[in-house]
Amino acid sequence: MGDRGSKLTFQHIRRNVKQAVRHDYLILAALALVVGTAAGGAVIIFREGARWIQWLYYSTETERFFLVAQELPWWLLLSVPTVGGLIVGIAVHWTLPDRRPHGISDVVEAYARRNGYMSIKTGLATALTSAASIGCGASVGREGPAVHLGASLAGWVTTKLHLSRSLARTVLGCGVSAAVAASFNAPLAGALFASEVIVGHYALRSFAPIVIASVAGTVLTRQWFGDFPAFFVSETLFASLWEFPAFVLLGVASAVAALVLMNGVRLASNVAKKLPGPTWYRPAVAGFAVGVISLMFPQVLGVGYGATESAMLLQFGFWTLVGIGLAKIIATSMCLGFGFAGGIFSPALVIGAMLGTSYGMIATQIFPDLSSGPDAYALVGMGAVAAAVLGAPISTTLIVFELTGDYALTLGVMIAVVIASEITQIFFCRSFFTMQLNDRGIDLKGEFESEALKTHRVRQVMETQTKGMPLHAPLTDIRKSLQKSTSGELFVVNENGTLYGTITLADLHDLAFDRSKDDTTDAADVARKHAPVVAMADDLGAALEVMQENGEDHIAVVDNVETMKFVGCVHHRDVMSAYNRALAQVHHEEHDL
């Protein structure tokens, strides 16, 4: 009996283990670890590739590149970004879809519209052109391309494994979180960025694998680059509660800077589109402009983290800070608008640091006893401008903290971030990425809901019991049928069953009560021709759109628009019921897998 009990217990354990292995949680955890490690390794290669290209052009790999650029001959500062822009333009023209650089906005679109599937070829081409852009000195960031690369690797994994929509989207979030964490040495910010910007929620069942991927990417890059903040700053302390008004005003100023930057990119893009000739030479024009700007402000070249750290260490004067900030806005707008590949986060940090430090100098001079110092305001400005541009106040705040290792100014950064983000959304849009999607004619508002409608067909909800009214049915039959109809509408068909038109009580007008024409009037006389119809194979989104455009609650259904054979009708209430069920299913998939 004891042996039998032991055998049954062992079989029970083995069965539970098999069930656990098949469980989505364990599958996701394993995939998150693999994707996180792969994304971390890809970010290392990407960053080293950009450094190698910079060495190839300028014979230096330093992050504080502007110090070297100050000693370079003028012709080199003009020629390298110009030639580099020409190379990037040709590469983008021949290797990337739509002949444009790709970035985080494409990741957002893939999550919302393509169930998380992305092209690995596009990801690699984007990484290569972005590394070439950064290496030649273009005023762009490296984090956006890193995120796109991590997402592309995740998308490739989901394609190979044929994962479901929910799993594919979560794995995509894992690739994003690992890439952000690896780029910034910031595991918390990486996990929150993926949930805030890409996934759109913090449900535990998707957040857990995202955290695993973020940690995996961070561990790998820390082994390669070391575990230390991106910027070394002096310790700052919160001086007084009376600084809160100053932080609020800095948040307003940061919103203005973010708005100028994003509108500058849009303006530059519109100008570039009006230039004659092919698109591949446009980055060279921007490269030459950057070279001209760098003759006076070499700090605009490249990612700009060296200039950011110098600003935080108070190594620039007030007017130099103002000049660098304005020059960085112009250079970044030209580079992104004219077709250089790269991100906007790093330039936003540079602009925020220049704004915050110069603002802090004024505040400290006016209220020396109440100020935490210009370096403190630099941190606040970095977070506020970057959060307004990215549309990610929570993760951006954490990124700034993890970049600097300084958590003393938590309240000040949060206040400025909230103010800047709210103002930007009121006067512009949610983020730079939303702007890019809108400019391409893509509106992701309610995308998941519309997708839910598109997954169901009219044939699934249509009413087939509805019979067509014969074309020559007398008026007396029409009245009787309308009285019995639950929808208050009749569908008139020809002898061969094709739809002729529709009849409602309003279509009868005075005939509804005039008995004198009963013998001379039939359905063909009163039917409304060219009535709105939908086909059986149409999705519910198309049916709802037809209903809204025509103000109809009941639409005739045909087998197809070529033959127009009447097969039934679809009601607005049934479409909305299916819509609600689909939304509940999407919610279940996103939060409960």
Where do the structural domains in the chain lie, given as residue ranges? 21-60+71-232, 241-439, 451-589
Instruction: Spell out the residues 6+ positions from residue 334 whose beta carbon is closer than 8 angstroms to its own.
Output: 139, 268, 285, 286, 289, 290
Burial of 446 (0-12, 13-18, 19+ CB in 10 A): exposed
User: Average pLDDT of 326-342?
Assistant: 95
Token representation of residue 88: 């990037």
Confidence of residue 328 (pLDDT cuts 50, 70, 90): very high
In this model, does residue 236 exceed pLDDT 70?
Answer: no
Orientation angle between helical segments 540-550 and 572-592, nearest 10 degrees:
140
b/e string for 106-133 if b means 16 or more Cβ within 10 A? bbbbbbbbbbbbbbbebbbbbbbbbbbb
Task: Provide CATH code, domain 21-60+71-232.
Answer: 1.10.3080.10
- 272 and 339 Cβ atoms separated by less than 8 Å: yes
CATH architecture under which domain 241-439 falls: Orthogonal Bundle (1.10)
Cβ count within 10 A of residue 67:
15
The DSSP string of 229-282 is -SS---------GGGHHHHHHHHHHHHHHHHHHHHHHHHHHHHHHTSSS-GGGH
pLDDT tens digits for range 349-367: 999 999 999 999 998 898 8
The DSSP string of 309-326 is HHHHTT-S-HHHHHHHHH
Confidence of residue 14 (pLDDT cuts 50, 70, 90): very low
Token representation of residue 14: 């083995």
Predicted confidence at residue 10, as pLDDT, reads 45
Separation between Cα atoms, residue 456 and residue 76, nearest integer Å: 60
In this model, does residue 237 exceed pLDDT 90?
Answer: no
Predicted confidence at residue 360, as pLDDT, reads 92
Sheet hosting strand 469-470, strand order edge to edge: 469-470, 489-493, 499-504, 528-529
Confidence of residue 13 (pLDDT cuts 50, 70, 90): very low
In this model, does residue 320 exceed pLDDT 90?
Answer: yes
Predicted confidence at residue 516, as pLDDT, reads 58
- 105 and 436 Cβ atoms separated by less than 8 Å: yes
In this model, does residue 279 exceed pLDDT 60?
Answer: yes
Instruction: Spell out the residues 6+ positions from residue 555 whose beta carbon is closer than 8 angstroms to its own.
Output: 532, 533, 534, 543, 546, 547, 569, 570
* Percent residues over pLDDT 90 in the chain: 32
User: Average pLDDT of 464-478?
Assistant: 78
Token representation of residue 419: 């103010």
Question: Do the two domains 241-439 and 451-589 of this chain adopt the same fold?
Answer: no
For domain 451-589, say whether CATH 2.40.40.20 is its number.
no
Confidence of residue 17 (pLDDT cuts 50, 70, 90): very low
In this model, does residue 23 exceed pLDDT 70?
Answer: no
User: Average pLDDT of 148-167?
Assistant: 84
Higher pLDDT pick, 583 / 112: 112
Task: Enter the DSSP assignment of 429.
Answer: -
Cβ count within 10 A of residue 281:
16
Confidence of residue 423 (pLDDT cuts 50, 70, 90): very high
In this model, does residue 66 exceed pLDDT 70?
Answer: yes
